[in-house]
Amino acid sequence: MSINDLPGYEQVPREHRDYQIDWLHPDDIEQIVALETGFFPEPLTITKLTQLIQEPHTCYIVVRDGKQVIGYIGFQYFLAAAHTISMAVHAGYRREALATVIQKTADAVAKKHGARWFTGEVRVSNEPQLRFLRGLGWHEIGRCENFFKNGEDAIVVWNWL
């Protein structure tokens, strides 16, 4: 059975405008780590990302413009819950609704795997991500103090699927 025969996988791969929405390929790993290093105080390393994608309940969805990764989400699903590892859109491709397409694709895949809700933690300083999720109807269900390694608090976010 190929990966595309598994339930939920009909959501990917597909086209969005001129971009391809696809599963992560090994060639994407370095690009994702480079993007994370540009955006996040605690980026994934190549070693950590390589370990994560080998875990059975990890899913990575990428958007490519040609061979360039311009957006991605990584998440894990456990029974009724799906949980975001991280997501991002390349700075040159923002406000094109790419994050919206990525999250909606992830929602559909997680739902097909039995997830009933999606959750995550967002830095209190990350107003773009909080606004983005509010726009998709996500709820901010609490604040977790000192969540990140640099001491920043997290807003715990949650959405029904």
Ligand X SMILES: CC(C)(COP(=O)(O)OP(=O)(O)OC[C@H]1O[C@@H](n2cnc3c(N)ncnc32)[C@H](O)[C@@H]1OP(=O)(O)O)[C@@H](O)C(=O)NCCC(=O)NCCS
Which residues of this protein are in contact with ligand X, per CB under 6 A? Answer: 39, 86-89, 94-100, 122, 126, 128-129, 131-132, 135
CB neighbours (10 Å) of residue 31?
18
Shortest approach of ligand X to residue 113 CB, angstroms?
20
Residue (12 or 75) nearer to ligand X, CB: 75
Q: In this structure, are strands 81-89 and 117-123 parallel, antiparallel, or unpaired?
A: parallel
Residue (131 or 149) nearer to ligand X, CB: 131
Dist. CA 161–CA 123, nearest whole Å:
23
Shortest approach of ligand X to residue 116 CB, angstroms?
21
Shortest approach of ligand X to residue 16 CB, angstroms?
11
Residue (87 or 115) nearer to ligand X, CB: 87
Residue (86 or 105) nearer to ligand X, CB: 86
Dist. CA 130–CA 125, nearest whole Å:
9
Helix (H) or strand (E) holding 74: strand 68-78
Tell me the two tokens of residue 23: 């599963």
Shortest approach of ligand X to residue 151 CB, angstroms?
17
Q: Give yes or no for a contact between 156 and 121, defined as CB atoms under 8 angstroms apart.
A: yes
C-alpha closest to that of 70 among 90, 52, 92, 49: 90
